[in-house]
Chains A and B, each alone.
Chain A
Amino acid sequence: MESENVPSSIVQFAQLDKLLSLGRANSLWPMTFGLACCAIEMMCTGGSRYDISRFGAEVFRPSPRQSDVMIVAGTINKKLELAVKTLYDQMPEPKWVIAMGNCAISGGPFKVKENYNVVEGADKLFPVDVYIPGCPPRPEALLEGIMTLEEKITGTRRWPRV
């Protein structure tokens, strides 16, 4: 992921930046934003068995102003579009977006020619960092997505890929 090391500001504080990103990566605060089925798997990930707090990402914040990663867990439709955009804009920098599930990636099962109401992918609205396929993805997949995001932030992976 070395190529992803884009300077985040004009003035670089090499070691401090690294330290900050390490801190950010290990304490991602996701926004509580369940849209549909994937939200239940997101709840499972936060629940007893999968325990997302092992990765420091258990602090689900209902307010976009307190969170730094938005997990788009579900279908975005034309009526909700504006609300999701507003929420993204309200999040403070630096911010990341995880598109969880096929609906958030491309519209999933609703990307058909009769589609009159579903936005075909969250990336039509704002940049997405990590895509997690599945309908819905398993909690393990969401954990893997979080680790991929950590890798993107710090440039190193928490532990080797299996």
Chain B
Amino acid sequence: MTLPVHLRHDETFVLNLGPQHPATHGVLRVKLTMDGEYIVKAEPVLGYIHRMHEKLAEAGTYPQFMPNTARMDYLHALAFNHGYALAVEKAAGIEVPERAEYIRVITVELNRIASHLLWWAAFLLDLGGFTPLLYAFDDREQIIDLLERVTGSRLTYCYMRFGGVYNDIDDEFITGTRDFITRLRSRMPRMYHDLVTHNIILIKRIKDIGFISEEQCRRYGATGPVARGSGINYDVRKNEPYSVYQEFDFDVPVYSECDSMARYMVRMDEIEQSLRIIEQALDKLPDGPVMAKKVPKILKPGLGYHYSAVETARGSLGHMLVCNGDKNPYKLKLRSPTFSNLSLYGEVAEGMLLADALAFMGSLDLVIPEIDR
């Protein structure tokens, strides 16, 4: 008599997931060694969207790389803009006017909400719910309208400049943003939490699934909502305040359950915190120029190694800039958050059911071009 597959422990098979798979959010491929429905070994294979950003950074001048930054993490493009602008400003010693800093914070936080909304939609789509996508996109389009008004594009923004931002915000943007805050706050409890967060199907799918310990986060260098869902109170906005984040009163949501539900809750709470930051920034918005005077046309930052970190929707983004006094960067290393976050996938997915592993993958919030760069 032959035993059912799951009982024959010496027999495993290899299952190929991706690079074209609806649940991998792009072109990630995972090589799974399966024992029946259980994963024995999961090995992510990267590089299907490697676009040589680091080479292009060396090839062009400092400002020429700015549009590329948005094409890495297209969901939170403004944070990548911001990170790169900060890195170069730090290296070249450019002062940014206060109004520009506030505008940067407002737009980056709006973009963060848009990113979390899209993650929410895509995550639930993975779990089999289509309706939430329509709700989330409805709200996301409002944000995109606002951002399009000031930045001129819908998705891949190139809004920041060294020394400020390219366009000032107007009254219509301010009233629009205030309306949006009210609108999202009124929709969050009923349409997001009642419909989805408290939904028993969702809870059964993601609660106690995908356990990432604090120690694992540290060993792998996981940051962002993944670390905060594992009880680590780490947010670059609080730990190494950059721009004007120290001016605002906001909390860092931390959950210590370490499961997919905790990561889900962190992101949902972050939406509210971002709204709080935007509200305060709009209240305090100072007058003045949005672009520093006397920014040299050809930047030649000082010699040496400069590291700067920002918090994107997915974690800590680092730019390591090596300058040699030339007009183009000698080396730009991009420390992308999801690269580290995904690297623990193999260890955590071991022994999981395949369906759970996909729910877990969704909870990591992957943006593949940012991993591959």
Contacts and interface: CB of A to CB of B under 8 A. Distances in A.
Interface in A82-115: 83, 87, 109-110, 112, 114-115
Contacts of B122: 43
A32 interface: yes
Contacts of B134: 47-48
Interface string B98-139: 000000000000000000001001100000000001110110
Contacts of B137: 43-44, 47-49
A118 B51 contact: yes
Contacts of B74: 36-37, 40, 136
- Tell me which of A36, A49, A77 has the highest count of chain B C-beta atoms within 10 A of its own C-beta: A36
A47 B141 contact: yes
A77 B144 CA distance: 29
Contacts of B140: 44, 47
Interface string A20-63: 00000000000011111101110110011100000000000010
Contacts of B20: 33, 62, 64, 83, 87
Nearest to B372: A77
B49 A75 contact: yes
B63 interface: no
Contacts of B133: 43, 47
Interface in B206-244: none
Nearest to A77: B50
A117 B52 contact: yes
A141 B360 CA distance: 34
Interface stretch (B21-29, B31-39, B83-91): B21-29
Interface residues of B, number: 37
Nearest to A116: B52
Contacts of B68: 109
B55 interface: yes
Contact of B48 (A32, A80, A136): A80
Main secondary structure of the interface of A (DSSP, over half): loop
B369 A117 contact: no
Interface in B155-180: 155-156
Given A35-B26, A35-B27, A37-B74, A80 B49 contact: yes
A145 interface: no
A136 B135 CA distance: 23
Contacts of B22: 32, 62
Given A48-B134, A80-B19, A114 B141 contact: no
A138 interface: yes
A135 interface: yes
B141 A44 contact: yes
B56 interface: yes
Given A62-B21, A75-B51, A117-B51, A39 B56 contact: no
B59 interface: yes
15 contacts: A34-B25, A36-B26, A36-B74, A37-B74, A43-B122, A47-B133, A47-B138, A47-B141, A77-B50, A109-B67, A110-B51, A112-B56, A116-B52, A117-B50, A136-B155
Given A87-B20, A109-B67, 12 more contacts: A35-B49, A37-B71, A39-B26, A43-B118, A44-B144, A47-B133, A47-B141, A48-B138, A80-B19, A80-B27, A110-B52, A117-B51
Nearest 6 A/B pairs, CB to CB: A47-B137, A37-B74, A62-B22, A48-B138, A80-B48, A48-B134
Interface of B: 19-22, 25-27, 47-52, 55-56, 59, 67-68, 71, 74-75, 118, 121-122, 133-135, 137-138, 140-141, 144, 154-156, 368-369
